[in-house]
Structure 1
């Protein structure tokens, strides 16, 4: 198991159950898992395997029923609501498949929003530098409806990056994109990791997973396999065996 000092996020015996009694579903079942600093991990599995729930628990978006979620040395599970909100705002970035941009705000205003919510007054140059990093320096004044799907996703990534979070979580970041745009977004994420960032990504796409440093496979809420440096074919073949 990875030593805690090298883990950006560590899960220790984490479980998450929905419902009670006979109808209860354990979406995540006693998972022990480390996500190392400066790496990109893809989380995959059949539908209903618990991958999105795992991501939400690791990012502090959902409380766990048992176990620990450690963000560095911070136990997310023991954090109060105010502390947890601050952690999500300052140390965690989250990229949603649906982008979740505010339609009334421009690209630069959407990117600046997390900083403003943290009580900061970001400079225009600071925000535009992040937009430039995702190739959108010339779209700063555009609103989401004036941007393509790929451009909106890049704004969402810039918004998640602007606080320089410890970890960037991405839930199906290419799921709503065409293949060409998806490759652009995956190339951007690769550059982010190569710059020292940590990324944890849920995806159903073997081609997307092949861009990551490693792949974790779930089934019935449990980690059942891992691959490192795998090709898209390797990932696809492993998924087929899990779905049998």
Structure 2
């Protein structure tokens, strides 16, 4: 078993080779909602790098800024200050069209609520990002993505004909069909029963073993413990991290932060 290590965090994780760009890097990033005395700084001067080929979980008490951090890293929200890099590309000042292209071609995003289109089959939902990018994907390519998540026999089913766990796996296939550099996942098991959650986490683990970079927000210590490292946020700042931690270690650290 990998020994648990912990330290106050600022910078990249072990495993990011010197001189090699991280998959995602945030430098002095801030994100504020509202103005004046009611303003809330959801992300407060974060310096953080996510190494290529690693699975990192992001945790923290409610309101700690973890989902906002994920959205800023993925280019779904613009930052108020600091810089965000995707590999060697600075996306901080990218236009809306440029960000849309990045999300189609280099970034995959999985939401807790699946966000599948009910009128489309699983196959059509998976093909959608490629069609939006102006491609006519071969059926074999789309079917291969569904087979990767164990749903090759559900290609013609619509979302209402699938279980919650199956819908989430379709959403993962849709995010992965473009072969993104980074897969972002915001509470991917939050709406699932325990058996479906294990299936989804096993799928993410298999992707990580093949070198896929994954950044996942979760509130579940057991889910976070499946990742190689866990970053903890508190009040919009990086408070701590664990590497090689058990679910008990993660839960204990989260309780300490909440206290």
**TM-score interval, normalised by the smaller of the two chains:** over 0.9
User: Partner of 1:240 in structure 2?
Assistant: 255
Mark the CA change 1:206 to 1:4 in structure 2 (over 3 Å): closer, same or farther.
farther
User: Partner of 1:49 in structure 2?
Assistant: 64
Mark the CA change 1:151 to 1:109 in structure 2 (over 3 Å): closer, same or farther.
same
Mark the CA change 1:28 to 1:4 in structure 2 (over 3 Å): closer, same or farther.
farther
Of residues 152, 157, 181, the one that matches 2:172 is 157
Contact 2:21 2:88 in 1 (8 A): no
Of residues 219, 223, 232, the one that matches 1:208 is 223
Contact 1:44 1:204 in 2 (8 A): yes
Q: Distance in 2 between matches of 1:124 and 1:88?
A: 22
Contact 1:107 1:143 in 2 (8 A): yes
Q: Distance in 1 between matches of 2:81 and 2:122?
A: 39
Q: How far apart are 1:80 and its partner, in Å?
A: 1.1
**TM-score (norm: length of structure 1):** 0.99
User: Partner of 2:98 in structure 1?
Assistant: 83
| Residue 37 (1) aligns with residue 28 (2) | no
Q: 1:187-237: per-residue Cα shift (whole Å, max 9, x none)?
A: 000011111110000000000000000000000000000000100000000
| Residue 174 (1) aligns with residue 173 (2) | no
Mapping of 1:1-244 within 5 angstroms?
1-2=11-12, 3=18, 5-244=20-259
Q: Distance in 1 between matches of 2:209 and 2:146?
A: 18
Mark the CA change 1:137 to 1:225 in structure 2 (over 3 Å): closer, same or farther.
same
Q: How far apart are 1:89 and its partner, in Å?
A: 1.0
RMSD in angstroms over aligned alpha carbons? Answer: 0.8
Q: 1:39-76: per-residue Cα shift (whole Å, max 9, x none)?
A: 00000000000000000000000000000000001111
Which stretches in structure 1 are left out of the alignment for 5+ residues? Answer: none
**TM-score (norm: length of structure 2):** 0.93
Q: How far apart are 1:4 and its partner, in Å?
A: 6.0
Q: Distance in 1 between matches of 2:146 and 2:66?
A: 29
Aligned residue pairs: how many? 244
Q: Distance in 2 between matches of 1:37 and 1:224?
A: 22
Q: Distance in 1 between matches of 2:197 and 2:96?
A: 35
Q: Distance in 2 between matches of 1:4 and 1:73?
A: 12
Q: 1:70-103: per-residue Cα shift (whole Å, max 9, x none)?
A: 0001111121111111011110000000000000
Q: Distance in 2 between matches of 1:181 and 1:238?
A: 26
Q: 1:163-201: per-residue Cα shift (whole Å, max 9, x none)?
A: 001100000000000111100100000011111110000
Q: Secondary structure at the match of 1:93?
A: strand
